[in-house]
C-alpha cells in the first residue's frame, strides 16, 4: 500500500468531513434564514468532497474499506484533520473565523492539487475548487460585514479571529508525508501556501477593520498535531455523535 498517499488523502477527506459535521449543527439555528441555507449548503459541498477523497483513500489502501468504513469506524487518533476544523462552533463569529481561515487555505491548496500528477487527485480538486470559490467569497464577505458592523459584532469578530488564528499555523506546517507528496508531484508543500493565504486574509481583515494577529501566535506546538492524529478533546465528542448510528446498528441502511 502507498501509505503516504493514503494518509494524504485521509487528511484531505477528514478536514472536510469534520468541518461539515461541525457546520450541520447550525441547521435550523442560523441567525437568519439565508445564513442557515448558506452554511448547510457549504456543509453539503464539503461532505460531498470528503466522500470523494475517502473513497479514493479506500481504493489506495486496498483493504476493502469504503467511505463509510473510513468515516464511521475509525477512532480519533486515526483521524488526520487539522485541529482548526474540530474547534467548537462557538458564536457565529467563531464559526465564520474558522470557516474563513479554512476556506482561503482550502482554495489555494486545491488550486495546486488541480495540477497534481495523480489524475484522480487532480479531478477531485478541479471539481471541488469551483464550489470552494463560492465558499471563500461568502466567508470573506461575512467577516467584513461582522468586523465592520456594530461595536459588538466588531469586538466578537476580532476575538474570534484571534482565537481561530492560533490554529492556522498547522495548515502550513509540512511533515514527511507532505514533503513526499510534494516531491512526487502529487501534492504541494503547505509552507508555500502561506504567502498567498496571508495576502488574501490581510486584505479582508483590513477591509473588515480587524487587526491581523501576531504571526508567532499561530505556530505554538500545542496547537498542531491533528494531521498526525493528535487531537483536542473536542474531536471525540464530535465523532461520538457522528458515528453513533452506524456503530450502534452495524450494517444499517437508509
Partner 1 sequence: MPHASTGEVMHWLEAVPDPEIPVLSVVDLGVVREVGWDGDTCVVTITPTYSGCPAMREISQDIARTLAGHGVPQVRVETRLAPAWTTDWMSERGRQALTRYGIAAPAERAIDVSGISRRIARPAVACPHCGSADTRLVSNFSSTSCKALYRCSACREPFDYFKTH
For partner 1, the binding residues (CB under 8 A) are: 34-35, 37-38, 41-42, 44-49, 51-52, 104, 107, 111, 119, 122-124, 126-131, 133-134, 136-138, 140-141, 144, 200, 203-204, 207
Is 104 or 186 the residue whose CB approaches partner 1 more closely?
104
Nearest to 186 by CA among 118, 106, 107: 118
Smallest gap, in angstroms, from Cβ of residue 228 to partner 1?
27
Is 49 or 223 the residue whose CB approaches partner 1 more closely?
49
Is 81 or 116 the residue whose CB approaches partner 1 more closely?
116
Distance from first CA to last CA of the chain, Å, rounded?
A: 32
CB contact at 8 A, 87 and 164: yes
Smallest gap, in angstroms, from Cβ of residue 24 to partner 1?
11
Nearest to 16 by CA among 38, 43, 46: 46
Smallest gap, in angstroms, from Cβ of residue 123 to partner 1?
4
Helix (H/G/I), strand (E/B), else coil: 225:
coil
Smallest gap, in angstroms, from Cβ of residue 57 to partner 1?
15
Is 51 or 224 the residue whose CB approaches partner 1 more closely?
51
Smallest gap, in angstroms, from Cβ of residue 73 to partner 1?
22
Place of cell 490581510: 202
CB contact at 8 A, 29 and 13: no
Is 78 or 209 the residue whose CB approaches partner 1 more closely?
209
**Phi/psi class of residue 211: alpha, beta or left (left: φ > 0; alpha: ψ in -120 to 50)?**
beta
Spell out the residues 6+ positions from residue 163 whose beta carbon is closer than 8 angstroms to its own. Answer: 87, 90, 94, 97
CB contact at 8 A, 145 and 204: no
Amino acid at each position: 500500500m502507498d501509505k503516504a498517499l493514503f494518509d494524504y488523502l485521509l487528511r484531505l477527506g477528514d478536514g472536510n468531513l469534520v468541518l461539515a459535521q461541525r457546520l450541520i449543527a447550525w441547521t435550523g439555528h442560523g441567525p437568519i434564514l439565508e445564513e442557515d441555507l448558506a452554511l448547510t449548503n457549504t456543509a453539503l459541498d464539503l461532505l460531498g468532497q470528503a466522500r470523494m477523497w475517502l473513497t479514493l483513500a479506500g481504493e489506495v489502501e486496498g483493504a476493502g474499506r469504503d467511505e463509510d468504513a473510513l468515516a464511521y469506524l475509525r477512532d480519533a487518533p486515526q483521524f488526520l484533520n487539522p485541529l482548526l476544523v474540530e474547534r467548537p462552533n462557538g458564536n457565529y463569529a467563531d464559526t465564520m473565523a474558522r470557516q474563513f481561515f479554512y476556506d482561503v487555505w482550502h482554495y489555494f491548496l486545491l488550486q495546486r492539487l488541480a495540477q497534481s500528477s495523480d489524475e484522480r487527485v487532480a479531478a477531485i480538486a478541479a471539481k471541488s475548487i469551483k464550489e470552494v470559490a463560492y465558499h471563500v467569497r461568502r466567508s470573506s464577505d461575512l467577516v467584513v460585514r461582522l468586523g465592520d458592523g456594530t461595536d459588538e459584532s466588531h469586538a466578537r469578530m476580532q476575538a474570534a479571529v484571534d482565537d481561530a488564528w492560533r490554529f492556522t499555523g498547522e495548515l502550513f506546517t509540512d511533515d514527511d508525508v507532505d514533503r513526499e507528496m510534494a516531491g512526487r508531484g502529487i501534492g504541494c508543500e503547505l509552507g508555500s501556501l502561506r504567502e498567498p493565504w496571508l495576502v488574501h486574509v490581510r486584505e479582508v481583515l483590513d477591509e473588515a477593520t480587524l487587526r491581523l494577529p501576531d504571526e508567532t501566535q499561530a505556530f505554538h506546538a500545542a496547537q498542531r498535531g491533528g494531521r498526525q492524529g493528535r487531537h483536542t478533546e473536542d474531536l471525540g465528542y464530535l465523532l461520538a455523535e457522528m458515528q453513533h448510528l452506524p456503530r450502534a446498528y452495524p450494517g444499517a441502511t437508509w
